[in-house]
Amino acid sequence: MNSTLNQWLTGQIDDLKLNSLYKEQLVLESPCNSRITINGKSGIINLASNNYLGLANHRDLVAAACEAAQNWGAGAGAVRPITGTLQIHVDLEKQLAAFKHTEAALVFQSGFTSNAGVIPTITDGNDVILTDELNHASIIDGVRLSKAQRKIYKHCDLRSLEEGLQASTAASKRLIITDGVFSMDGDIAPLQGIVELARRYDAAVMVDDAHGSGVMGGGRGTAYHFGVHHDVDIQLGTLSKAVGVMGGYIAGSRPLIDWLTQRARPFLFSTAQPAPVVAAIMAAIRLMDRDSSLTDKLWENAAFWKSGLQGLGFDTGVSQTPITPVMIGDEAVAMKFQHELLNEGVLALAIVYPTVAQGKARIRTMPSAMHSRENLIDALGAFKRAAATVGLL
């Protein structure tokens, strides 16, 4: 390795460690269940996963994946525009469009590549993108890939958004982009107000519903929850959180999807998802479509968990969803708290800069449908003990 580069990398890593910003990679030694094995220690309560509905190991998904592997093989063999589009991909996209109540849908390899695919493909240098200041990193990077001018509006602030719209009337097109559910704080975008402003100022609306998919609106997402799904031009969903598998998708009009198949670079130049992945996703969507019990259990557990943390004196911020941050502030304390929680049998990760602003460190907890009441009671006890150890309560 080049010595200058290696010295720079070593210095950067040392600096992260000095400022309590270096995060060790955790390795699970068991499936992603409510209790997991990590670092050789079994029975750890898992409060760090995005597996909201517990579908990652659901028997229906596993059976569907195994059957598809036998029928279609292990890989698609090409990018979608060549010979990588299997009939099962087409079936999934029809299923997703019906589930989301849109004309069409297009599947990407991840939610991140969905944003990288759609944003620069539908905007150009004559356009303006208005983006919430706390939008996900994949939105930020998608906007950076676009040649459009960008205006960042204050978080969930409709007045700030309107000021941006008023200042951008010369643009050819205007696109408002927001997360549906914000992943670090668990709050929800004011989509009804955003849609109203978009109508007034002739702007398009895009909602990244990675953390709303399978969680809000009976699983159909935040736009459906607010009843504005017909007024949202572009809906991004993930297939790797509540759905329990991997991938992302864009749902919207037929012209939107047709254009993306012609110009969206992540779609054009990435090998298609393997059929076992697609089949497992389809099984998950069928489950979500016919049975709300897992979503109901998720929200029941989330309410119990929030109430328990608040009862112990923890600050859970502005969360309105199962994403439940325990606000700490100091990065070193947050990292120490994570360590003590693991000693007490709970995996809940510290979120520090640059994922959140400096001085805004927190432990992000993710109660799910797979947790029993006993799991959550045990976890509350662990939080109380760990907090006492690090001097938080």
**Catalytic site residues?**
183, 211, 241
Distance CA 379, CA 47 (A): 9
Distance CA 150, CA 163 (A): 13
- 3-state SS assignment for residue 266: helix
Distance CA 321, CA 302 (A): 7
- The label of the residue with tokens 């979120």 reads 351
Q: Is the separation of the CB atoms in 207 and 250 below 8 Å?
A: no
User: The tokens of 54 are what?
Assistant: 């517990």
In our burial notation (b when 16+ CB lie closer than 10 A, e otherwise), range 290-321 reads eeeebbebbeebbebbbebbeeeebebbebeb
- The label of the residue with tokens 């982009």 reads 177
- The label of the residue with tokens 């070593």 reads 10
In this structure, the strands spanning 35-38 and 104-108 are unpaired
Distance CA 159, CA 53 (A): 36
Write the CB contacts of 187 (distance below 8 Å, at least 6 apart in sequence).
156, 181, 317, 318, 319, 320, 321
Distance CA 337, CA 73 (A): 45
Beta strands in 223-330 (DSSP E): 234-238, 248-252, 324-329
Q: Is the separation of the CB atoms in 121 and 264 below 8 Å?
A: yes
**Rg of the chain taking only CA atoms, in angstroms:** 21
The DSSP secondary-structure symbol of 26 reads P
Q: Is the separation of the CB atoms in 129 and 143 below 8 Å?
A: yes
The one-letter amino acid code at 40 reads G
Other CB atoms within 10 Å distance of the CB of residue 262: 10
Beta strands in 160-256 (DSSP E): 174-179, 204-208, 234-238, 248-252
